[in-house]
Amino acid sequence: MAYKPTVLLLLAALLMTSVLGSRYYTAQEANAELFKEFKDEIKSLRTLWPGNDYCQYDGVTCDANGDVHINLRGRGLYGEMPEVDDDWGKYTSVVSIDLSDNVGLSDDLEEDWKHLTQLRVLNLSYTSFDDDIPDDWDEMSGLEELYLHNTAVCKSLPKWNGYKMRNLRILNLSNNNMYGSLRSEWGSFANLQTVDLSGNNFCGCVPSSWSSNSVLTNAVSGMSVASSSCFTDRCSQKSYCPKTPNFGGNGNGNNNNGGNNNGGNGNGNNNQIDASTALFFAEFKDEIKSLRTLWPGNDYCQYDGVTCDENGDVHINLRGRGLYGEMPEVDDDWGRYVRVVSIDLSDNVGLSDDLEEDWKYLTQLRVLNLSYTSFDDDIPDDWDEMSGLEELYLHNTAVCKSLPKWNGSKMPNLRILNLSNNNMYGSLRSEWGSFANLQTVDLSGNNFCGCVPSSWSSNSVLTNAVSGMSVTSATCSLDRCRNKGNCPKTPNFGGQSGGNNGGNNNNGGNNNNGNTAVNDVYTKLFFDEFKDEIRSLRALWTGSDYCQYDGVTCDENGDVYINLRSRGLTGKMPEVDDDWGRYVRVVSIDLSDNIGLYGDIEDDWEDLTNLRFLNLSHTSLRGEIPDDWKKMSGLEELYLHNTAVCKSLPKWPGYMMPNLRVVDLSNNNMYGSLRSEWGSFTNLQSLNLAGNNFCGCVPSSWRSSVALLNAVSGLPVESDNCLTNNLCTKKSTCPYTPNKGTVSTAAPSEVPTTVAPTKTPTTSTTSTTTTRAPVLTDDTSRFLNLLRGSVSGLADLWNAPDTDYCGWTGVSCPNSNEVVVSLSGRGLSGVLPLCTTPSWMVRR
């Protein structure tokens, strides 16, 4: 069989690659790869290290010899060790790395760091790295000093051949979770000067190969392995390694070294900063992203909202901070050691999802306030293992189902319990009769059924808690409990909690902190959904008082107006839950001129029944207009022109939208026949359907409406031969490209007439496109905005709110048909947007 020349060339290239191996990297190229891996695994470094000039990075020093030193000690980092590729690892000129005092760094030690053969000093102490030390690290032939003390490292000593690590002088593996027999291979270390193995649990006897090495024998002096009875200390296999760092002691005095790396003994704070507590704070930052900025560094006693008292007890008060996220997880390895005694997360409606069962391990916790949040589902039965709990405020949330099966004898300190105004139901728990020290219980505002258990009869606090409820009536036995399958996700803010909710936490009570009358819980949820879908709003909208948000106005009636026109936003429409959508107080939304808004139009906005004005024009929203938007009974004006909206008109019966006066759907990608249902609109004053491709003829029901007839004047649907020349043919796909077509003329004004002039969205006085750029400009703008949302760092770099991208950093427009993007050396990372079906992306 004969091969074509091209095929032969390819085969030759493959053979050359297999023979010669990977390509050569310069030190600068290899270093750049390493720093990229760092930013991939430790996300906060993307902000700390902008651009590509690593010598300018915070915590990085490049000396006159071209050697690079990384010192990130005590930066409050969280993440994992970066990977090192064998292609470039050996070419790096990074000679010292200090990641110590970052308890948020966790998971296994990377075996592939063996390729960092130029590395001389490595400090990973006071981190949460765990599991075993890789055997292959003995290939780090340049290593002189290793500080890996006070971590969660466990298992036995690594099988290191001393001949391969001839430069190793200082080694500190103290205060870890290591066990097993000592390695005979270590007898081959010739240049060791200091070794610390204390604070571990080694077994067996000192190998004979160590006898001629005084540094090694000194390292185990006084340990059981050096005793005369060591041979009886048989090593038993351990199958489990705790994830908790061993901060039980300080590394010995020989560790304050490291040259430029400032290695050695903690930051002077480790006597106060408890490892397990630090892990708990790291979990907080993992689940509630905004805390990463609020809580920099590792010293949690210095965190905003955190207090440490003279006993070492820790108090967290994050009430009303506008937080969103979920409850942090607690590991059974370290939970019971956490020194946090009070936590107040109340009045943060953006905190949601299930209550974490594993908080049962916080046995030192005394006060917990989760009121006025969106936590839902049931209260875990296992929380009765929080034996230290004295006060629990879990009222006005979305918690539902029945009371937890708590054994009072396991919670002997519980005095105050408020579960009022939730969505709870079911029968009362007989187990609760065993609570001996309760002083205040509030169960009001729920829907319990059945009768009061007989075990409650001798407990006046419990009987007072249900006084007046149906469970105490003479007919309670007839109130059969029926299983409820679904729990609403909406917090029950229907009532105020009982008065005695203070405690030492100075919280509780009525958590309507003077703001809830204006800042409605359901409206808060809507704003949180906005921040969830449009990430840039997280920085623009801080705190929980949405009336203070940029672009948001609240009037004296409590109505809310959102104007985010031309903000360069990227993302999708926020979701609206049917549990709370109809209660949202937002009456006006203007998201126009944000071409980075994309995705389908949300069907569930139908529940925004208070909405009167909506402008989504000049965006990249696509798909069909939902039929169910007919339920937006309060809508008066809708501007949805110049978008990627397609398919036919929605099936909207006019009688369901009696207030609708102005509709602009011009210059979209719509097609299909006109809807006869629209003939029932009685108050419609202006309709624009120009710039679409409707087919068929005008329905007879439209003939009595001047506004409807004006909307189709001059269109093919009104021609005399519409039955024959304007036939409807089915279209199966919708283009992703916004239609930036001609002029939108039907709606003379896009300023909502439902609001006072000082509260109105500042939309233009006309809805024309005569001054807008040609199609190329809008297509390119949409692509650049997608790029802006996909690549980390571009949101800050390209922060212009309009579509004049020719003025953006790194973007130039040499002529009317070309755009040049040059972002080399900017230290960007992320995933490029897919360039598949959308014709505008392929074309431009």
- Retrieve residue 703's tokens: 């003939």
Q: Clarify whether residues 395 and 432 are in a common domain.
A: yes
638: CATH: 3.80.10.10
CB 420 within 8 A of CB 445: yes
What pLDDT is attached to residue 528? 87
Judgement on whether residues 732 and 665 belong to the same structural domain of the protein: yes
Q: Is residue 3, in this structure, part of any structural domain at all?
A: no
188 phi, psi to nearest 5 deg = -85, 0
Burial 726-749 (b: 16+ CB within 10 A, else e): beeeeeeebebbbbbbeebebbee
What residues contact 831, with CB distance under 8 A and at least 6 apart? Answer: 790, 791
- CA distances (Å), 599 to each of 308, 589, 596, 602, 622, in order? 47, 18, 10, 9, 6
Check: CB of residue 580 under 8 Å from CB of residue 606.
no
Instruction: Evaluate whether residue 583 is within a structural domain.
Output: yes
Alpha-carbon distances of 789 from 142, 529, 572, 618, 829, rounded to whole Å: 42, 17, 11, 18, 11
Residue 516 lies in a domain: no
Q: Are residues 255 and 281 in the same domain?
A: no
Question: Does residue 459 sit in the same domain as residue 421?
Answer: yes
- Quick one: 421 and 532 in the same domain? no
Statement to judge: residues 672 and 696 lie in one domain: yes
User: Is 29 a member of any domain?
Assistant: yes
Locate 24 and state its tokens.
Answer: 């050569």
Same domain, 379 and 355: yes
The pLDDT, as a whole number, for residue 260 is 38
Distance (Å, whole) CA 470 – CA 456: 15
Domain stops at, among 759, 789, 810: 759
Q: Is residue 769 part of a domain?
A: no
Residue 765 covered by a domain: no
Q: Are residues 220 and 341 in the same domain?
A: no
Domain contains 431: yes
Among candidate residues 759, 786, 818, the one where a domain is terminated = 759
Could you give the CA distance from residue 527 to residue 65 in angstroms, rounded to a whole number? 53
| Cross-strand pairs, 615 | 590, 639
Say yes or no: 320 and 436 in one domain.
yes
Of 263, 285, 323, the C-alpha closest to 71 is 263
- Check whether residue 610 and residue 469 sit in a common domain: no
What's the pLDDT score for residue 125? 94
Low-confidence ranges of the chain (pLDDT < 50): 1, 3-21, 250-272, 497-518, 743-749, 751, 753-776, 801-802, 834-844
**Per-residue pLDDT reduced to its tens digit, 30-80:** 999 999 999 989 888 887 898 889 999 999 999 999 999 999 998 878 889
**Torsion angle defined by CA atoms of residues 241, 244, 247 and 253, in that order, rounded to the nearest 10 degrees:** 50
Overall residue count recorded for the chain in this entry: 844
The reported pLDDT for the residue numbered 788 is 67
Q: Is the CB of residue 149 less than 8 Å from the CB of residue 255?
A: yes
Q: Are 483 and 544 in the same domain? A: no
The answer to whether the beta carbons of residues 573 and 533 sit under 8 Å apart is: yes
pTM, two decimal places: 0.55
pLDDT of residue 119: 98
The closest of 58, 67, 59, 77 to 30, measured between CA atoms, is 67
Distance CA 168, CA 145 (A): 6
Inter-residue contact 688 to 720 (CB < 8 Å): no
By DSSP bridging, strand 423-427 and strand 398-401 are parallel
Q: State residue 232's pLDDT score.
A: 76
Residue 648 shares a structural domain with residue 737: yes
Reading the block at residue 364, the tokens are 């030192």
Residue 269 falls inside a structural domain: no
Q: Indicate the number of domains in the chain.
A: 4
- Which of 442, 470, 505 corresponds to the end of one domain? 505
Whole-number Å distance between alpha carbons of 136 and 138: 5
Query: Domain residues for 558?
Result: 521-759
